[in-house]
Every structure is written in structure tokens, then in C-alpha cells.
Structure 1
Amino acid sequence: MPKIKITPNTLLNNSKKIWFTCLLMAQICFVTYLALGYGLTGITTGISGWSRLNSTAYVASDPIGNSMYAVHVLLAIVMIIGGSLQLIPAIRAKYTKFHRYNGRVFVLLACTISVAGMYLMIARGTVGNTLMQGLTIFGGCVVILSSILAVRAAKKRNISLHKIWAIRLYLAANGVLFFRLMIFAWFLLFGTLGVDTTTFTGPTVLAVSICSYVIPLLIAELVRHAETTTNKIITIATASLMVLISIIFLVGLFGIVLAEWYPAIVG
């Protein structure tokens, strides 16, 4: 039997696949929740029924805000699916035209959803303190900036630069999902330690916000460096970090499905 040589780069590539698979599982569950929770409820009872899912989702005297919320939630169903399709190498290689046009749709939806989300945050407010809300707005700004620069790089046929900004766009666009997975992982492991459940503030909420909107961008740079460095320790450490994040995603997914998404759908 020939020996299979496992190199640090092999470990890193496999860890990236594990991370993406875990995130894809979470996205499928999230999209199902959005489609059945908001989409089906909107069809059967009207958007006023969204109040059972989120107390700020519907305000009778605010048609503009209601429209923005509908855009923010319903377009996310298409954006999440389309964004992940962009990262699958086989699709990029075999279906180049689909990749190109799907990318344009993803950019348009991501920017639209981000603008709608920032409008809602300013107009209706949300949970958490000003710093947490600022981090969420930061994520929206990264989406818009990354979209512009990714499209510009693609038009110039600078594929390597386009890929860098496209990854940043993808991570920023999934920041809300990252936050939900990590905060529920924390709840399962440590309860409400560091969280003021009344105002949804505290050191844990702030730390998870940073880990949702800022740290993923830094980790992406670390992964990019680990792919080219000759330092095996950095490559192995990065692979281990990706596996750890994958485990956190799975723990958080288990928690949020049982505690929030499933009850919202069947309730």
C-alpha cells in the first residue's frame, strides 16, 4: 500500500473545506428559517405576522420601514445561496458564465440588503449598545466597499485581486449569521455569562460582534498567508483554527435551531 503523505498545505485545504461545509449547513438552515418563517408567513397572514418572529419587523405606521425589512430578509434567501455557489471551484471552472452573472446578482443583493439593514438600524434601532451597532454598520460598509473593489478588479481581469475582495465581501455579507452561530455557541457552553439579557449588552456580546465582523477579515488574511508561507507551524496552526471555528459553528447551529429557528417555523 502506498503511503499517503499529509502535508501542512493538505491540512489547510481540508480545514477550509470543513469550514465551508459547516457554514453551508448553517446557511441551509438559516435560509429554511427565512423562507418558512418570513416568506410563508408573509403569504399566509401578511407581513404583520412577522411580529411573532421579530418585534421590530412590522410597524403599522411605517410602510417604508416595513418594505426595507422585507427587502432585508427576503432577498437574503437568494443572496446566501448565490454567494456560496460563487465559492465552489467546480462551478467557477465549468460554468464561467453562470459564475459571472451570479456574481453580479450577489453583489447587487448584498449591497441592497446592507443598505436596508443600516436604514432599519438607524430608523428603528436594534438591540445592543452603540458600539455593537457600529460594528454591524461596519460590516455593511465592508460589503459595499468590497463589492465595488471586487467588480473593479474583475473588469480589469485582475483575478487574484478580485478573489481577495470577493472573499472579503462574502465574509462581511455573512456577518449576521456568524454572530448568531457564535452567540448561541456561547449560550450553550457558558450560559449568559458576560451578557445582560435585558439590554443584550456586555463584554461577551461585544466580543462576539468583533469576532463576527472584524476577525473573519483578519483570519482570511491569515489563511492567504498560510497558503504561501514555508513556515509549517503557521500553516498547521491556521488549519487548526479553521477546524475550531467549524466546531463552534456546529455547536451554535445546534443551539439556534433548537432554541429559535425550529420553534419559529412550527409555532
Structure 2
Amino acid sequence: MNQTTITTTGNNSFAHSSNNNWLSHSAKMWFLVTVFGQWVFAFYVAMFYGGASLEGDFAKWNKVMPHGYIAGDTIGNIAVGMHLLLALVVLIGGPLQLIPQIRKLAPRFHRINGRIYILTALVLSVGGLFMVWTRGVAGGDIGKYSISLNAILIIVFASLAVYFAIKRDIKTHRRWAIRLFIVMGGVWFFRIGLMLWLMIHQAPVGFDPKTFEGPFLTFLGFAQYLIPLAVAQLYFKASDSNNNQNKIIMSVALTLLTLAMAGGIFSASMGMWLPRI
């Protein structure tokens, strides 16, 4: 091997390492922005719904959640209340499962929190199906179908994450855990997507704000989890690829998506969540 070959090989190795770093940094930035946005949402859920509950003003739920509280429907109201409480568990505990330092330094916490997260995810998905098909949902039948598909994906992904953990296939387990984290955030992705759309257009374009129906909401009902899942799959492919161009393209795309997501978080926080607290 001559000096030129050694130099070329060294440069290629450096470029590959550099592109891997950019891809890793863009993924970390996406995760940090996502966690920040979800914890702001969790704060809002705790303060708005929890505050109304402590005041005994359960009817206040209906200002945000259609049919959230129905007088006389004790079982249904308890189901909604438990759903909101468990949502806080996954919003706070879910991101902790994906932090490598916690997995490494506190493996016992990772296992216990993981079991709680999986169990809560399954309960929420079943409870969500119950509420959607017994109480209805904004957006009509299309909304029912999109939320039902979301719930089914949660059950499937949770089961696969557990299966590969038992098989000790840690890499595959982590990827299914990431997919589970994404579909568990479907409601959150819907809200920041909607608020980003409204911020861009400064008007309810593509849907009727009174009936909460229209082509854009039909699209967003499924896109809220299918698009992030598609992005995750492309990220996994880029991570496994030896093609530096694929890694660069994915890094740029993920950075742009993170910026768009940050805009949606800002709009949702300032226009929807914080004013209601």
C-alpha cells in the first residue's frame, strides 16, 4: 500500500466519521427539542386538567376536549381522568428511556421505568380506543380511524419492543422503542403540526374550525405519526449506510424538520397551552 492509498483511506475514514457525527448531532437536537416540547405539553395537561379537577370544575375539560366530561357518566369520566393521568406518566417517563447515559448508569431504573412505560402505553391505547368509539372525537369518523390506527400501532410496537428486549437483541429493541416513542406522541405531533400550519397561514386553511373537519385535518390525522415514523426509518437507513451523501442529506433534512417542529412548539405553547393555565 503506497502513501497515496493510505492518505485516501484516511481521508475517507475521517469524512465517514465526521458525517456520522453530524447525523448523531442532528438526531440529538431533534430529541432535545421533542422532549422540551412534550414536557411543556405535560406541564399544561397537569395544570389545566389537574387544576380543574382540584377545583371540582370537571366541565372545564370540555373547553378543550369534546365530550371530556359528561354529567352522570361516572365510568366514562373516570376513564378520561385516568387517561390524562397516565398521559403524564408517558410524557415524562418516555424520554428517559431513550437517554443512553441513564441506560448505562441506572440500568435498574431503565428496566423498571421501561415496564411502567410499556404497561401505561398499552392501557392508554386500549383506553383511547374505548373513548373514541364510545364518546366520539372531533373530526368525525376519519378522526376515529386515525386515532384507532395510532392505538393499534402503539400495541404492536410495544409488543415488539418487549419481544426484542427478551431476545437480548438490543439494537432492534431500541429501534422499536423509538418507534413506540413516536406513536405515543401522536397527539402531541398533531397539536404542533396544526399550530405550525396556522402560524404559517394565519388562518384555518383547509378545514372548518367550527366542525373541525376538512382535508388538512384528514391528512394531519394520519400524518401525525406516519411522517415521523417514515423519518425515523430513513434515519435508521442512513445510520446503517456507508454512503456519506445519504448521511449528509439525512442530517440536513432532520435539522430542517427540527426547526419546523420548534416553530410548532412555540406556536402551540404561546397560542394554546400557556394561555390556558
TM-score when scaled to structure 2? 0.89
Q: Conserved in 2, the CA contact under 8 Å of 1:53 and 1:264?
A: no
SS at match of 2:191: helix
RMSD of aligned Cα (Å): 1.9
- Offset of 1:11 from its aligned partner? 1.4
Return the letter of the residue paired with 1:209.
G
Long gaps (5+) in structure 1: none
Distance 2:87 2:267 in 1: 21
In structure 2, C-alpha distance between the alignment counterparts of 1:98 and 1:196, rounded to whole Å: 46
Shift of 1:155: 1.4
1:155 counterpart letter in structure 2: I
Of all paired residues, the percent bearing the same amino acid is 34
Q: Is 1:58–2:69 an aligned residue pair?
A: yes
The answer for the alignment partner of 1:243 in structure 2 is 255
Q: Does 1:163 align with 2:174?
A: yes
Aligned partners of 2:133 and 2:144 also within 8 Å: no
Over 3 Å counting, the alpha-carbon distance change for 1:198 and 1:114 in structure 2 is same
* Cα distance, 1:196–1:233 mapped onto 2, change above 3 Å: farther
State whether residues 132 and 209 of structure 1, in contact with CA within 8 Å, keep that contact through their aligned partners in structure 2. yes
**AA aligned opposite 1:148:** S
Counterpart CA distance in 1 for 2:259 and 2:139 is 26
Q: How far apart are residue 254 of structure 1 and its match? A: 1.6
Alignment of 1:144-163 (within 5 A): 144-163=155-174
Task: Show the counterpart of 1:20.
Answer: 31
Number of aligned residues: 263
Q: Is the 8 A contact 1:82 1:102 kept in 2?
A: yes
Report deviation, 1:131.
2.8
- Which structure is larger by alpha-carbon Rg, 1 or 2? 2
1:153–1:161 CA contact under 8 A, matched in 2: yes
Amino acid at match of 1:195: F
Structure 2: segments with no counterpart, 5+ residues: 1-13
Instruction: State the alpha-carbon separation in 1 of the partners of residues 139 and 60 from structure 2.
Output: 24
Letter matched to residue 84 of structure 1: P
Q: Where do residues 185-264 of structure 1 align in structure 2 (5 Å cutoff)?
A: 185-190=196-201, 191-264=203-276
- Output the TM-score relative to the length of structure 1: 0.92
Segments of 4+ in structure 1 off by > 4 A? Answer: 3-6
Contact 2:137 2:143 (8 Å CA) reproduced: no
Aligned residues of 1:50 and 1:57 also touching (Cα < 8 A): yes
Correspondence list, 1:83-102, <5 A: 83-102=94-113
Q: Whole-Å Cα distance in 1 between the matches of residues 245 and 145 of structure 2?
A: 35
